[in-house]
Amino acid sequence: MTRPAPEGHDFAARFLLASLATWRVTHLLAEEDGPADLVVRLRRRLGAGLLGELMDCFYCLSMWVAAPAGLIVARRRRDVPVTWLALSGAACLLERATASLDTPDETRGEIDELLWKEAQAL
């Protein structure tokens, strides 16, 4: 006879799955073409407006992808905001960990420097 998992284990499993799902969906929308180039066509249609820019930034987009996941993972209403931020943070950590495998260090430094210059211009 099996016992039900304690509440902490249930939350940990939901959080882990939601973190991976948040990363996967965000990566698909921000970095990939999608099946049959659907995501590329969506990006083109959104253009250079606010939503189009949102699709270009993994970190920004992860906030919005994590929002519904936070509602599913958190058991209490008061836990939703911190769960939402934690899921986005987990997706960002996964992105940084996996991006460093694809991008050589010298290129990564150039990208970080470019992003820093763009942020300073704002």
- The answer, yes or no, to whether residue 119 has pLDDT greater than 80, is no
Checking if the pLDDT of 4 tops 60, the result is no
Question: Distance between CA atoms of 75 and 80, rounded to whole angstroms?
Answer: 8
Q: For the chain, give every domain's residue range.
A: 8-121
| 29-33, 68-72, 110-114: the lowest-pLDDT one | 110-114
Q: Which of 21-25, 64-68, 103-107 has the lowest mean pLDDT?
A: 103-107
> Can you list the pairs that 51-55 forms with residues at least 24 positions away whose Cβ atoms lie under 8 Å?
55/29, 55/30
Please check the confidence at residue 10 and state whether its pLDDT lies above 70. yes
- Over the chain, what is the mean pLDDT? 84
- What are residue 59's phi and psi, to 5 degrees? -65, -40
Please say if the pLDDT value at position 118 is more than 80: no
Q: What is the pTM of this model?
A: 0.73
Per residue in 42-100, pLDDT tens? Answer: 888 888 888 888 888 899 999 999 999 999 999 999 999 999 999 999 999 999 998 86
pLDDT the model gives residue 43? 84
Query: From CA 13, how far away is CA 38, in angstroms rounded?
Result: 31
